[in-house]
C-alpha cells in the first residue's frame, strides 16, 4: 500500500502526524525512502517501542524466516510482498531478530525455515527452535500457523527443522493452517503455490486492513541490487587462477569476476550466486548414452530450444536427487537399482558418488535406443540451480570486481572424469567467459559493527574465502584491531591458500596472528580444532575481551569439531561445566559474536 493512501484509521498515527509524514515523503526518492523506513524501524526496535500493541498484532501476519543461504529470506519476502499487496499488515523478520516474548500475542505465524547438515537448524533459527522446545515456551492456543520447510532430499534429515517447528507449534496448541510443506532444492513452484494457499487460508482469520509492512531490525539499508537469482547479471570472468601448488592433489581456483557497470554491490560476508553451464563433454555423453538427438527441440515453460541447449544451460546433471534415482530404477527395471532405491541410506550414499551420466551408464535402459524421449528426459531432470560461493573480496579493495575461492570438485568413475558443475565451469573459464551472477546477502556473517572489536576467524580450506574479504575490508577501512586466523589444509607447501597475502598482512601488522594446521605434513593428522585447543588460553582471553568468532567451511565435520574444541576451551580454561559452556556459546551466538558460514 502506498503512503499517500494512508489514513489515521489504518495506522497508529494521528491525522496530523500522517500529514507531516506525507509532506516529508513526497520529497524523498526511492533510496531515501528505503533508508528512512529502515531507520525508523530500527529506532522503534531499539527503544522497545513495539508499534504493534495487542490489537495491532492481532491484525498482523507475522512472517519469520530462518535460513543460511538466503533462499528462505527470498521465499518469505515474496510472501510478504503478496500479502501486503492483498492488504494485509505484515511483520517480516528473521527468526534471529524476532523477540520470542512476542510469540503469545501472535495470531498468524508463517514460517520459512531451512535445514542443514544432519538435520540442524540454521544459525538464525537456533534460538527460536530451542525456545519452542523449552519449558519457557507459552501455550499458543490462539495461534494459527503454517511452515514451509526448505531442504535437500539427498540428506537423511530432509526438512528436519521445518518438521520440528511444525511439531512443536502443534504441541503448544497452535493450529496449522496447512500441512507442512516440504520443499526440495527446486522449491520455487512449491513456494509460490504455498504463498497462494496460505494467504487464502488466513482470509477468514484476519481482516484486511491498511497497514504498512514492518520490517524489524533493518538497521543498515543495503542498496537494493536490481540483479537477482531470477534476473542475474551477465558478468565476465577476469581470472581463474589455480592457487594450489603443482604437487597438490586438489585444484583450488582463485576466480575474479568483473561486475562492470552492473552497479552490483555486496558486503563482506555475502555470497555470490553463480549460474553455470554444464560441461559439453558430459552433455554429449548423456545424449549418446540415451541415443537422443542434440538438436531435437524441447519446450521449457514458454521457451523452445534444442535438447542440447536445455541440458547445457537449464538442467541439473551433476547433482542427483533421490527422486531421480527412484524414477530411473523404475524406468530401467534394474533389480539392483530398484533394491537400492528403497533404502534411504544407500540412496544418500549413492547420490554423493554418482551423477546422472553414471546412472545412465551403469543402469542402461533395457531396450536400448528410444526408450526415453527427449521430453521425458527433460521432465525427469531437475532445473539447474545456481551455486553459492562465499565472496573472497571486499569492494573497498577490489571495487567492481568480486573474487571467489573455488575448489574444483573432481572424481573419476570407471575411467570417466566427473566434475562438479559450477566448480568445473569456473575452473575452466578462460578470461572473458560470461557468467551469470547475483549477490546473495548473508547478514548473519558480518564484521563487528564496532571496528575496534577483535576477530577470530576459523577458515580451513576454501572456508578461508570470506576472511580474505574481511581482511581487505578492515585494511581498507584502516581498522586497527586484533585479528586471528586459523587455517588448515593437507600440505603446507601445496595447499596454503593465499599464503603470500597472509604473510603480507602479518608483516604489516594487519593480521595479529595466524595458526595453521597442515594435516598431512606429519605422521598424525592435525586440524584447526587441534590448534584451537593448543591456543586455548589465549583464545579464551580473546573471547573474554569481546572478540567475535567466525567459522567458515565444511559443516558436516569441521564446524562441529571446532565447536567441540571451543566447548572444551570454555571448560578447561574458562572453568565452566558443559552446560554452562554450551550456554556461553549460545549467548555469543545470539549476541552475534559467534557466526558461521558453513556448507
Question: Which residues are at the interface with another protein (CB under 8 A)?
Answer: 241-246, 254, 492-493, 496-503, 506, 514-516, 521-522
Q: How far is the CB of 76 from another protein (least distance, A)?
A: 39
Which CB sits closer to another protein, 500 or 508? Answer: 500
Q: How far is the CB of 503 from another protein (least distance, A)?
A: 6
Instruction: Map residue 154 onto helix, strand or coil.
Output: coil
Q: How far is the CB of 442 from another protein (least distance, A)?
A: 24
CB within 8 A of 459, min separation 6: which ones? 465, 466, 467, 485, 486, 487, 550, 551, 552, 553
Reference 136, options 172, 177, 174; nearest CA is 172
Q: Helices in 395-527 by DSSP H: which ranges?
A: 395-398, 421-427, 465-476, 492-495, 499-507
Which CB sits closer to another protein, 65 or 505? Answer: 505
Which CB sits closer to another protein, 71 or 529? Answer: 529
Which CB sits closer to another protein, 93 or 243? Answer: 243
Q: How far is the CB of 246 from another protein (least distance, A)?
A: 7
The three three-digit cell numbers of residue 352, written as one number? 554423493
Which CB sits closer to another protein, 343 or 493? Answer: 493
Which residues pair with residue 257 across a beta bridge?
237, 402
Q: How far is the CB of 501 from another protein (least distance, A)?
A: 6
Which CB sits closer to another protein, 184 or 521? Answer: 521
Instruction: Map residue 234 onto helix, strand or coil.
Output: strand
Q: How far is the CB of 243 from another protein (least distance, A)?
A: 5
Q: How far is the CB of 486 from another protein (least distance, A)?
A: 12
Q: For cell 542427483, what's the residue?
A: 320
Which CB sits closer to another protein, 7 or 241? Answer: 241
153 phi and psi, to 5 degrees?
-70, -5
Q: How far is the CB of 500 from another protein (least distance, A)?
A: 5
Using an 8 Å Cβ cutoff, are 552 and 558 in contact?
no
Q: How far is the CB of 153 from another protein (least distance, A)?
A: 38
Crossing angle, helix 335-342 and helix 322-332, to 10 degrees? 150
Using an 8 Å Cβ cutoff, are 467 and 459 in contact?
yes
Which CB sits closer to another protein, 334 or 494? Answer: 494
Q: How far apart are the first and last CA of the chain?
A: 38
Q: What is d(CA 462, CA 472) in angstroms, rounded to the nearest whole number?
A: 17
Q: What is d(CA 381, CA 410) in angstroms, rounded to the nearest whole number?
A: 21
The three three-digit cell numbers of residue 595, written as one number? 557466526
Phi and psi based region of residue 87 (left: phi greater than 0; alpha: psi -120 to 50; beta: remaining)? left
DSSP 540-554: HHHHHTT-EEEEEE-
Using an 8 Å Cβ cutoff, are 80 and 112 in contact?
no
Crossing angle, helix 536-544 and helix 558-572, to 10 degrees? 80
Query: How many other C-beta atoms can be found within 10 angstroms of the C-beta atom of residue 326?
Result: 16
Q: What is d(CA 234, CA 231) in angstroms, rounded to the nearest whole number?
A: 9
Q: How far is the CB of 488 from another protein (least distance, A)?
A: 11
Which CB sits closer to another protein, 388 or 408? Answer: 408
CB within 8 A of 156, min separation 6: which ones? 118, 119, 344, 345, 348
Which CB sits closer to another protein, 81 or 482? Answer: 482
Q: How far is the CB of 439 from another protein (least distance, A)?
A: 24
Q: For cell 531396450, what's the residue?
A: 367
Q: How far is the CB of 550 from another protein (least distance, A)?
A: 20
Using an 8 Å Cβ cutoff, are 551 and 517 in contact?
no
Q: How far is the CB of 252 from another protein (least distance, A)?
A: 9
Q: How far is the CB of 504 from another protein (least distance, A)?
A: 10
Which CB sits closer to another protein, 20 or 537? Answer: 537
| CA 450 to chain centroid | 25
Cα–Cα distance list, 192 to 67, 78, 295, 345 (Å): 18, 9, 33, 31
Which CB sits closer to another protein, 115 or 405? Answer: 405
Which CB sits closer to another protein, 247 or 478? Answer: 247
Which CB sits closer to another protein, 114 or 240? Answer: 240
The three three-digit cell numbers of residue 351, written as one number? 547420490
Amino acid at each position: 500500500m502506498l503512503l499517500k493512501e494512508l489514513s489515521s484509521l489504518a495506522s497508529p498515527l494521528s491525522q496530523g502526524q500522517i500529514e507531516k509524514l506525507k509532506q516529508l515523503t513526497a520529497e524523498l526518492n526511492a533510496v531515501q525512502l528505503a533508508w528512512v523506513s529502515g531507520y525508523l524501524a530500527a529506532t522503534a526496535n531499539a527503544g522497545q517501542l513495539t508499534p504493534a500493541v495487542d490489537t495491532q498484532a492481532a491484525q498482523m501476519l507475522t512472517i519469520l524466516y530462518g535460513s543460511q543461504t538466503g533462499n528462505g529470506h527470498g521465499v518469505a519476502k515474496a510472501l510478504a510482498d503478496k500479502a501486503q499487496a492483498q492488504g494485509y499488515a505484515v511483520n517480516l523478520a528473521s527468526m534471529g531478530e524476532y523477540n520470542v516474548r512476542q510469540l503469545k500475542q501472535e495470531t498468524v505465524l508463517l514460517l520459512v525455515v531451512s535445514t542443514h547438515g544432519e538435520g540442524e537448524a540454521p544459525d538464525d533459527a537456533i534460538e527460536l527452535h530451542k525456545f519452542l522446545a523449552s519449558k519457557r515456551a507459552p501455550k499458543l492456543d490462539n495461534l494459527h500457523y503454517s511452515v514451509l520447510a526448505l531442504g535437500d532430499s539427498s540428506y537423511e534429515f530432509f526438512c528436519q527443522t521445518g518438521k520440528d517447528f511444525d511439531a512443536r507449534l502443534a504441541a503448544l496448541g497452535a493450529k496449522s493452517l496447512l500441512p507442512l510443506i516440504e520443499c526440495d532444492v527446486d522449491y520455487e513452484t512449491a513456494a509460490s503455490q504455498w504463498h497462494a494457499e496460505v494467504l487464502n487460508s488466513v482470509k477468514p482469520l484476519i481482516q484486511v486492513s491498511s497497514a504498512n509492512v514492518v520490517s524489524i531490525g533493518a538497521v543498515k539499508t543495503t542498496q537494493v541490487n536490481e540483479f537477482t537469482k531470477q534476473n542475474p547479471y551477465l558478468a565476465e570472468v577476469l581470472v581463474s587462477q589455480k592457487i594450489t601448488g603443482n604437487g597438490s592433489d586438489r585444484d583450488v581456483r582463485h576466480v575474479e569476476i568483473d561486475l562492470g557497470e552492473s552497479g552490483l554491490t555486496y558486503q563482506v560476508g555475502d555470497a555470490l550466486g553463480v549460474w553455470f553451464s554444464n560441461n559439453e563433454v558430459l552433455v554429449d555423453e548423456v545424449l549418446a548414452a540415451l541415443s537422443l538427438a542434440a538438436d531435437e527441440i524441447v519446450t521449457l515453460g514458454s521457451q523452445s530450444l534444442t535438447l542440447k541447449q536445455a541440458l547445457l544451460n537449464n538442467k541439473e546433471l551433476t547433482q542427483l536427487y533421490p527422486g531421480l534415482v527412484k524414477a530411473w530404477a523404475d524406468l530401467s527395471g534394474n533389480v539392483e537399482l530398484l533394491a537400492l532405491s528403497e533404502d534411504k541410506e544407500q540412496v544418500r550414499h549413492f547420490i554423493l558418488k554418482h551423477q546422472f551420466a553414471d546412472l545412465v551408464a551403469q543402469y542402461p535402459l533395457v531396450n536400448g535406443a528410444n526408450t526415453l524421449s527427449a521430453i521425458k528426459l527433460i521432465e525427469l531432470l531437475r532445473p539447474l540451480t545456481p551455486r553459492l560461493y562465499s565472496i573472497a573480496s571486499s569492494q573497498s579493495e577490489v571495487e567492481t570486481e568480486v573474487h571467489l575461492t573455488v575448489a574444483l570438485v573432481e572424481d573419476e568413475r570407471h575411467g570417466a572424469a566427473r566434475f562438479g558443475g559450477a566448480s568445473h565451469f569456473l575452473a575452466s573459464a578462460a578470461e572473458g567467459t560470461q557468467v551469470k551472477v547475483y549477490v546473495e546477502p548473508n547478514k548473519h556473517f558480518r564484521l563487528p559493527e564496532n571496528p575496534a572489536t577483535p576477530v577470530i576467524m576459523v577458515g580451513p580450506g576454501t572456508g578461508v574465502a570470506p576472511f580474505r574479504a574481511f581482511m581487505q575490508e578492515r585494511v581498507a577501512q584502516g581498522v586497527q584491531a586484533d585479528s586471528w586466523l586459523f587455517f588448515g589444509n593437507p600440505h603446507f607447501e601445496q595447499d596454503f591458500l593465499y599464503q603470500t597475502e597472509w604473510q603480507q598482512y602479518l608483516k604489516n601488522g594487519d593480521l595479529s596472528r595466524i595458526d595453521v594446521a597442515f594435516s598431512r605434513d606429519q605422521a598424525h593428522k592435525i586440524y584447526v580444532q587441534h590448534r584451537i585447543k593448543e591456543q586455548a588460553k589465549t583464545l579464551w582471553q580473546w573471547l573474554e575481551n569481546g572478540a567475535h568468532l567466525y567459522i567458515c567451511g565444511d559443516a558436516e565435520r569441521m564446524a562441529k569439531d571446532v565447536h567441540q574444541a571451543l566447548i572444551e576451551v570454555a571448560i578447561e580454561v574458562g572453568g565452566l561445566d558443559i552446560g554452562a559452556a554450551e550456554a556461553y556459546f549460545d549467548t555469543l551466538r545470539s549476541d552475534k559474536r559467534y557466526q558461521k558460514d558453513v556448507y
